[in-house]
Amino acid sequence: MAELVAVIASTHHPFYYRASTATGPERPPFADEWVRKIEAFRATLTKARPDVLVMVGSDHFHQLWLDNMPQFLVGKAPFYDANFHNEEREFGLPKMLLKGHEELSAHVLRAGLDAGFDLAFSNELRIDHSITCPIITLRPEADLPIVPVYTNIFAPPLPQPKRFVQLGTALREIIESWPSDQRVAVIGTGHLSLELGGPRQFGPHGPDPDFDRRAVGWIAGGDIEECLAEVSLESLHAPGNATHGFMDFMLMMGVAGEGRKADYVDTLDLFHTMEAYFTWYPNGEPA
Amino acid sequence: MSKYLLNKFLYTVDRDPALVERYREDPVATVADWEAEYAPRLLNCVAGEATTWLAFDDTERAALAAHDYPTLFELGAHPFLTLTLFIAMFERDHGEPLGFQREYAERLAHMTLPYPDIST
What tens digit of pLDDT does each residue of B75-98 get?
999 999 999 999 999 999 999 989
Domains in chain A and their CATH numbers?
3-280 (3.40.830.10)
CB–CB contact A60 B80 (8 Å): yes
CB–CB contact A61 B102 (8 Å): no
From residue A205, give the alpha-carbon distance in Å to each of A31, A36, A195, A265.
16, 20, 11, 19
Rounded Cα distance between A233 and B48, Å, is 39
Confidence of residue A272 (pLDDT cuts 50, 70, 90): confident
Rounded Cα distance between A6 and B69, Å, is 43
Q: What's the whole-number average pLDDT of chain A?
A: 97
Domain ranges of chain B: 3-107
Q: Is B62 on the interface with A (CB under 8 A)?
A: no
| Distance to chain B for A197, nearest Cα, Å | 5
Confidence of residue B47 (pLDDT cuts 50, 70, 90): confident
pLDDT per residue as tens digits for the range A19-66: 999 999 999 999 999 999 999 999 999 999 999 999 999 999 999 999
Q: Which residues pair with A185 in a beta bridge?
A: A6, A53
Mean pLDDT value of segment A126-136: 98
Q: Identify the pLDDT of residue B44.
A: 87
Confidence of residue A287 (pLDDT cuts 50, 70, 90): confident
- Disruptive mutation site among A201, A205, A236, A273 for chain B (greatest number of B CBs within 10 Å): A201
Confidence of residue B20 (pLDDT cuts 50, 70, 90): very high
| Spacing of C-alpha A246 from chain mean position | 10
Mean pLDDT value of segment A127-153: 98
Helix (H) / strand (E) containing A148:
strand A146-151
pLDDT per residue as tens digits for the range A208-259: 999 999 999 999 999 999 999 999 999 999 999 999 999 999 999 999 999 9
pLDDT of residue B1 exceeding 80? no
Mean pLDDT value of segment A122-129: 98
Helix ranges (H only) for A177-284 are 209-221, 224-230, 246-256
Identify which of A86, A156, A196 has the shortest CB distance to residue B79: A196
Which amino acid, A208?
D
Rounded Cα distance between A208 and A272, Å, is 10
pLDDT per residue as tens digits for the range A172-190: 999 999 999 999 999 999 9
Quickly count helices (H) and strands (E) in chain B: 7, 0
Q: What is the DSSP pairing of strand A273-280 with strand A264-270? A: antiparallel
